[in-house]
Amino acid sequence: MASNIAVAGVGPDAFSEKKNNALGDIETGSTRIEPAPPIYSPDDEGKDDSESINYHTLTWWQAGVVMIAETVSLGILSLPAVVATLGLAPGLIVMVIMGFLSTYSGLVMGEFRKQHPWVQSFGDAGEVMGRSIGMGKLFQEVFGWAQTIFVIFVMGSHLLTWTICLNTLTNSAACTIVWGVVGLAVFWVLNTPRTLKAAGYYSFASFASIFTAVLVTMIDVGIEKPIGTTSIEVSRSVGFTSAFLAVTNIAVAFSGHSCFFGVMSEFKQPSDWPKALMLLQVCDTVLYVVVSVVIYVYVGPNVPSPALSAAGSHVVRKVIWGIAIPTIVIAGVIYGHVAAKYVFVRLFGATKHLHKRTALGWFGWLGITAALWAIAWIIAQSIPVFSNLLGLVCALFASWFSYGIPGSLWLWMYYGEWFSSPRRIALFSLNALLVLVGTLLCVLGLWASGEAIARDSGTDPWSCKSNAGQ
């Protein structure tokens, strides 16, 4: 690994002064600028010719749209059922709180990368933290592969949603496993590009897709009032398992953080990160609140998850699922890119195959993406209930990547300065809360999702039976 390589035109001088921002006064003059991995070789910076691959192509708005596409996809489909489980007031309160915490944790991640601009993943972030206690390599492996496993689980949830969609559209004309194989092929083919440049454009189709699908769903349920009673409960008395599984589904809806470092690494101007993050968080929070309230109010306590199945007539339901296909596919492809890029960098990071268009690099990328989607397909077939899969994903991974680890990053950056001023004390408390929330989501979420999976044992994994009614 070459030393003293600047990232995207940013050299040590750019980090030699104090920066004032939302996270407090940061003294970066003493921060050692880390060497960049070969992906940022100066010889290839800015090139996009027949031989070299330019990885710095995203403007802030393109990055924001990419993150909206990968975040506002499956999570939004579970939220009306969450509000039905918790009650209107608790559901909205938890939603707003989780939205605030996820926004702040995203800002922390951006500040961490400003100090360590070569970081591309949670594995790199873990290596930076672990190095201070002589465990950098261990932290790199644990954090990096945990992030990759999490993303693969999310890929599996997209494949599961794909099978629900195809069963709905075709009246279960083929075995669910067959639809899963078809989805595996579709997702893999679309994951062949090695950068997110194209995603910055076709993510508009993903956002338009999910927005239109939920809009049509809201209009339909407002007219038809299709399922059960439309009684509204401001609050509910509900068992722990159901309540906490609902909370984990809310956390999943704000769990785009696993992709944040990867998206930041492809920015044209890394300093634009806060603008892209705010575009994401404003859009997803507003959509989540509006969609959850409207669908719950008009459908009642029996609203299904995913919520697109709440439409009254079969014809309208098919139309809605058809509209939703782009977001199911595109968001899944973005997650697939993040997972494949991490594996690819680990395998080819010290070679020319990373930033040059070589035959070995091409076949390596195709093989990695095919293997990852095959694993995601196995997960989708093994956990066939949508909300249970989301709950398990949150408990195992989203709890840490969206809340616990960002809080730990701040505590590590300001170790020894936690109580140096009233502002720092307040920020210390907020980041300690992030760590606590991550821990509770993991421990209690595993218990709740485990009980839910056991309770739904009547739903057979690896079955040809239609899952369109989920």
CA distance 262 to 357: 20
Lowest-pLDDT choice from 144-158, 299-313, 340-354, 452-466? 452-466
Q: Which fold has domain 61-455?
A: Amino acid/polyamine transporter I (1.20.1740)
What amino acid occupies position 37? Answer: P
Contacts of 171 by beta carbon, 8 Å cutoff, 6+ apart: none
Lowest-pLDDT choice from 233-247, 288-302, 332-346? 233-247
Q: In this predicted model, which residue has the larger pLDDT, 244 or 163?
A: 163
Instruction: Map tokens 């395998």 to a residue.
Output: 347
Asked whether the beta carbons of 78 and 305 are under 8 A apart, the reply is yes
- Residue 335 is encoded by which pair of tokens? 């997650």
CA distance 207 to 327: 7
Phi, psi of 116 (to 5 degrees): -130, 75
Check pLDDT > 50 for residue 17. Answer: no
Q: 132 pLDDT band (50/70/90 cuts)?
A: confident
Phi, psi of 19 (to 5 degrees): -115, 130
Provide the whole-model pTM.
0.77
Query: Helix 88-115 crosses helix 240-253 at what angle (to 10 degrees)?
Result: 40
What amino acid occupies position 58? Answer: L
So what's the pLDDT on residue 305?
A: 74
Report the percent of the chain where pLDDT is more than 70. Answer: 84
Check pLDDT > 90 for residue 366. Answer: yes
Structure confidence by residue, pLDDT tens digits, 184-236: 999 999 999 887 776 667 788 888 888 898 899 888 888 877 665 566 777 77
So what's the pLDDT on residue 35?
A: 45
Asked whether the beta carbons of 391 and 249 are under 8 A apart, the reply is yes
Q: Look over the chain and give the mean of its residue pLDDT values, rounded to a whole number.
A: 81
Q: In this predicted model, which residue has the larger pLDDT, 318 or 3?
A: 318
Short-list 390, 399, 347, CA closest to 146: 399
Instruction: Map tokens 């999570």 to a residue.
Output: 75
Asked whether the beta carbons of 39 and 1 are under 8 A apart, the reply is no
Short-list 412, 466, 417, 405, CA closest to 441: 405
So what's the pLDDT on residue 420?
A: 94
CA distance 98 to 403: 9
Q: 303 pLDDT band (50/70/90 cuts)?
A: confident
CA distance 353 to 431: 39
So what's the pLDDT on residue 32?
A: 41
- What is the residue extent of each domain of the chain? 61-455
Q: In this predicted model, which residue has the larger pLDDT, 412 or 38?
A: 412
So what's the pLDDT on residue 45?
A: 41
Check pLDDT > 70 for residue 5. Answer: no
Residue 22 half-sphere exposure toward CB, CA atoms < 13 A:
15
Q: How does DSSP assign 101-160, residue by residue?
A: HHHHHHHHHHHHHHHSTT--SHHHHHHHHHHTTT-HHHHHHHHHHHHHHHHHHHHHHHHH
So what's the pLDDT on residue 229?
A: 57
Q: 52 pLDDT band (50/70/90 cuts)?
A: low
Short-list 110, 103, 435, CA closest to 285: 103
Per-residue three-class SS string for 275-321: HHHHHHHHHHHHHHHHHHHHHHHHHCCCCCCCHHHHCCCHHHHHHHH
